[in-house]
Amino acid sequence: MFLNVFGELPQPLIDTQILAAFCGRPMSWGFASMVEEYSGVTLDKSESRTDWLARPLTERQCEYASGGCLVSVTDHRKAYGRNGGLRLATCGAG
């Protein structure tokens, strides 16, 4: 989406599924499972399979997307040190 709309990709871009695989999780491990294990927050996945290409997004889609972003930032800060370096010791620590 960023490439199509803005002509560039955000940097750095983190694929949480690949990051989780490096921490010993299966590639099928989803974002919601990761969030729940590391933060204790259960995401409402009812909007995860809706049509994200349709515009405008529904209010529920926007709420789902923003909730994921807030939790993602929290998880990112837990996985990375203050200086931005990955602390591999946190992988799988739960």
| Extents of the domains making up the chain | 2-45+55-90
**pLDDT tens digit sequence for 15-60:** 878 888 888 889 888 777 877 787 777 878 888 889 988 989 898 8
Take residue 41 and report the two structure tokens written for it. 């927050």
CA–CA separation, 74 and 27 (whole Å): 22
- What is the architecture of the domain spanning 2-45+55-90? 2-Layer Sandwich (3.30)
Predicted pLDDT at 71: 60
- The separation between the first and the last C-alpha atoms of the chain, rounded to the nearest angstrom, is 32
Residue 14 structure tokens: 């983190």
pLDDT band at 3 (very low <50, low <70, confident <90, very high): confident
